[in-house]
Amino acid sequence: MEVCEANFHCQRCAEASEWGLTMHRLSKEKMHNIYLFLSAVLIMYGVILGLTGGGQIHLLPGMAGSGGIHFRALKTFTYQSNILLVIGFLVMLALKNNPLRHYISVTVMLSATVTGLVYNFLLVPFAQAPMFFSGYVNFSTHVLVTALALINYFVFESKGFLRRRHILAGMIFPGVYWAVFVAIGERINFFPYFFMNPNDVGWVMVFVWFVALLAVFAGLGGLLLVYDKGRGQGF
């Protein structure tokens, strides 16, 4: 009788523990979904403000407070990476446990991180007008987007799933962006950034900048792989 009672209590404990883990998993998933949705709304709000001139922005000449919709801004990697995050987070909401979420998460994170790095360490130092934190738009599209993408991975995403193919997939978007605008920039009389304009820095330096930024992507991806593998193994 004592053995049966002990087994009964053990079974009850196991069921309670399993129930607790299930509720914890559901609670974290719910929090993650809320986070994804609110993040998408915040970033989209910044994008809309920037495109309609509702916020102070100094990324491109003649954009600040000029009224109308600044379609030219949509050509910048900044706005494209922000919109990519909004779309990516909303798609992740719909996909739930689909493995495709891993590709989206990495792509969004790498693009948003490079957006923040380029803005703070390349554009701000060379800017002729004050840019750093100059209004909600600049903060949202260059700093907040990076923070939200990083928080999504480091706080909410499961670890131990990353492979080199995820990193390579995450480098496709910026690679295609660079190739397209370097190829058509002269024709449309628009280069999004000075380091992509051969008329300003020369073709050699355009290639050097491309390799340098590619190295940044690869370096960030490599660090991410090491971290993810360590966390996945419980280190």
pLDDT digit string, tens, across residues 83-140: 999 999 999 998 877 888 889 999 999 999 989 888 888 777 666 555 544 578 888 9
In this model, does residue 62 exceed pLDDT 50? no
| Contacts (Cβ under 8 Å, ≥6 apart) of 53 | 63, 64, 65, 66, 67, 68, 70
Range 207-231 average pLDDT: 89
Range 148-170 average pLDDT: 90
Predicted confidence band at 178 (pLDDT cuts at 50, 70, 90)?
Answer: very high
Kindly report the number of other CB atoms within 10 A of residue 116's CB atom: 20
* Type of residue numbered 55: G
Cα–Cα distance, 96 to 140 (Å, whole number): 26
Q: Where are the domains of the chain?
A: 29-232
| Contacts (Cβ under 8 Å, ≥6 apart) of 126 | 194
In 125-233, beta strands by DSSP E: none
Give residue 87's Cα distance to chain centre: 11
Higher-confidence position of 38 and 3: 38
In this model, does residue 40 exceed pLDDT 90? yes
What pLDDT score does 58 carry?
43
Counting Cβ atoms within 10 Å, is residue 19 exposed (0-12), middle (13-18) or buried (19+)?
exposed
Average pLDDT, the chain: 80
Cα–Cα distance, 13 to 27 (Å, whole number): 21
Residue 136 near residue 55, CB atoms below 8 Å: yes
Cα–Cα distance, 68 to 235 (Å, whole number): 52
In this model, does residue 20 exceed pLDDT 50? no
**pTM over the 0.85 mark:** no
Tell me the residue length of the chain: 235
Convert the pLDDT of each residue in 187-211 to its tens digit.
988 888 888 999 999 999 999 999 9
* Type of residue numbered 136: Y
